[in-house]
């Protein structure tokens, strides 16, 4: 395990991106300065605030945080699927050297599924109940490859179904004839139909039982290895994450507060919020002792000043935390953390 000492890390620039093994793999995803606001009756809610990171081919990133921390908004923003009253204010999402934010509507439509695919959260209802599974796979292909022949499309679908361990006969079935796990697999199969560079899986296992959860995770691992895509796995099950992902990103109140390898995250979390998250995991050694995180997630409409976590933070009662937002800092080994405990002063943001 790499030992990092607080304080001796370089101070990150504003758009600091945590470079991870950039030397080993090609960078396929580069998100920088992404910002999303919801304009509600009660005021503006900044659901995503200046989020930046990069991801290499074949890399798996877990994204964790409480409800409302911006995980799902993150996924929707990357797909450019934020609906009013929400709006993407600024930022770039570069997939294979193309900035998705600069594409026109039609260009973005083509990019969906072919460059960046999304595997939905509510897989139970994500399939159209009145048309056959096959039709829902074929129309996805046809929307991107108009000239593809019928038999080529069917072959491609059968291959995708096989790669998620489903019988190709599923092609002729309806959603209600499938179990929850099978439906989720179909969604994964659809996600890999066009071999995208980036796959975002939004809590892909949340509606499934434990055994099926594991199987679905294994399926995701397998297909990812097949097509060597970068995968972002959104979820709150830290245990499931620990076994699957390479790196973990922790979100808090729309901000990315820590990005570390999974091993570092579990053995030596840096951000006080990450520490609290890790400590709240049930542990066989200290059965019966359950430590939650004190306080509640803040309302995005009324974020605390300075560091958004300071009201719940054990170190948060100083003027600095209350007035200055901590800048992302790159620690030794490429970990990123946004906290006043690290880096000299951290400088003011906005």
Rule CB under 8 A: choose which of 128, 243, 280, 291 binds other proteins.
Answer: 128
List CB contacts of 197: < 8 A, sequence separation 6 or more.
28, 29, 57, 95, 96, 115, 116, 229, 230
∠ CA(328), CA(331), CA(333), 5° rounding?
A: 130
Q: Is 126 in the site for other proteins (CB under 8 A)?
A: yes
User: Closest separation between CB of residue 259 and other proteins, Å?
Assistant: 20
Stretch of residues binding other proteins (CB under 8 A), selected from 221-229, 231-239, 257-265, 292-300: 292-300
Rule CB under 8 A: choose which of 62, 91, 120, 134 binds other proteins.
Answer: 120
The whole-angstrom distance between residue 139's C-alpha and the CA centroid of its chain comes to 26
Would you say 131 or 225 has its CB closer to other proteins?
131
- Residue 27 β-bridge partners: 56
Q: Are strands 86-95 and 98-99 parallel, antiparallel or unpaired?
A: antiparallel
Q: Is 160 in the site for other proteins (CB under 8 A)?
A: no
Sign of CA dihedral 190, 192, 197, 198: positive
Rule CB under 8 A: choose which of 22, 225, 301, 332 binds other proteins.
Answer: 301
List CB contacts of 51: < 8 A, sequence separation 6 or more.
31, 33, 34, 35, 70, 74, 91, 251, 254, 255, 256
CA distance 224 to 211: 20
251-280 residues near other proteins, rule: CB under 8 A? 254
The contact mask relative to other proteins for 195-234 (x = CB under 8 A, - = no) is: ----------------------------------------
* Total interface residues for other proteins by CB under 8 A: 56
List CB contacts of 107: < 8 A, sequence separation 6 or more.
none
User: Closest separation between CB of residue 281 and other proteins, Å?
Assistant: 21
CA distance 153 to 141: 7
Among the listed residues 60, 7, 68, the one whose alpha carbon sits nearest the alpha carbon of residue 253: 68
Among the listed residues 247, 234, 228, the one whose alpha carbon sits nearest the alpha carbon of residue 57: 228
37-96 residues near other proteins, rule: CB under 8 A? 38, 40-42, 45, 47, 66-68, 70, 72-73, 76, 79, 81, 83, 86
Rule CB under 8 A: choose which of 55, 62, 63, 112 binds other proteins.
Answer: 112
Q: Are strands 27-40 and 86-95 parallel, antiparallel or unpaired?
A: antiparallel
CA distance 32 to 334: 17
Rule CB under 8 A: choose which of 12, 298, 306, 334 binds other proteins.
Answer: 298
User: Closest separation between CB of residue 48 and other proteins, Å?
Assistant: 8
Stretch of residues binding other proteins (CB under 8 A), selected from 118-126, 148-156, 218-226, 259-267: 118-126
12-41 residues near other proteins, rule: CB under 8 A? 38, 40-41
CA distance 31 to 25: 17
The whole-angstrom distance between residue 309's C-alpha and the CA centroid of its chain comes to 20
Rule CB under 8 A: choose which of 147, 150, 176, 287 binds other proteins.
Answer: 176
Q: Is 131 in the site for other proteins (CB under 8 A)?
A: yes
Rule CB under 8 A: choose which of 18, 93, 100, 127 binds other proteins.
Answer: 127
Residues that bind other proteins (CB under 8 A): 38, 40-42, 45, 47, 66-68, 70, 72-73, 76, 79, 81, 83, 86, 109-114, 117-118, 120-122, 124-131, 135-136, 139-140, 143-144, 174, 176-177, 187, 190, 254, 295-302
């Amino acid at each position: 395990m790499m030992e990092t000492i607080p304080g001796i890390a370089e101070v990150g620039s504003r758009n600091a991106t945590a470079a991870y093994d950039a030397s080993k793999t090609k960078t396929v995803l580069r998100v920088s300065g992404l910002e999303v606001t919801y304009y509600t009756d009660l005021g503006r809610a900044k659901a995503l605030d200046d989020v930046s990171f990069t991801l290499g081919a074949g890399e798996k990133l877990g994204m964790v945080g409480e409800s409302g921390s911006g995980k799902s908004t993150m996924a929707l923003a990357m797909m450019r699927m934020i609906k009013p009253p929400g709006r993407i204010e600024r930022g770039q999402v570069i997939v294979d050297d193309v900035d998705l934010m600069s594409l026109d509507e039609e260009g973005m439509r083509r990019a969906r599924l072919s460059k960046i695919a999304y595997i939905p959260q509510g897989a139970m209802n994500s399939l159209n109940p009145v048309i056959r599974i096959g039709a829902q796979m074929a129309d996805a292909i046809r929307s991107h490859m108009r000239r593809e022949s019928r038999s080529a499309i069917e072959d491609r679908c059968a291959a995708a179904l096989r790669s998620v361990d489903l019988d190709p006969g599923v092609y002729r079935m309806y959603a209600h004839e499938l179990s929850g796990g099978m439906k989720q697999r179909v969604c994964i199969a659809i996600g890999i139909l066009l071999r995208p560079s980036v796959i975002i899986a939004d809590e892909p296992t949340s509606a499934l039982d434990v055994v099926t959860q594991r199987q679905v995770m294994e399926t995701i691992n397998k297909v990812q290895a097949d097509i060597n895509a970068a995968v972002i796995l959104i979820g709150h099950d830290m245990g499931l994450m620990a076994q699957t992902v390479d790196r973990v990103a922790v979100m808090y109140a729309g901000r990315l507060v820590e990005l570390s390898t999974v091993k570092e995250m579990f053995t030596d979390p840096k951000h006080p919020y990450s520490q609290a998250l890790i400590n709240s995991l049930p542990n066989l050694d200290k059965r019966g002792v359950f430590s939650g995180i004190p306080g509640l997630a803040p309302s995005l409409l009324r974020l605390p000043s300075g560091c958004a976590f300071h009201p719940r933070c054990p170190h948060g009662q100083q003027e600095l935390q209350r007035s200055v937002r901590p800048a992302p800092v790159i620690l030794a080994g490429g970990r990123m953390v946004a906290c006043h405990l690290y880096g000299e002063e951290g400088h003011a943001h906005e």
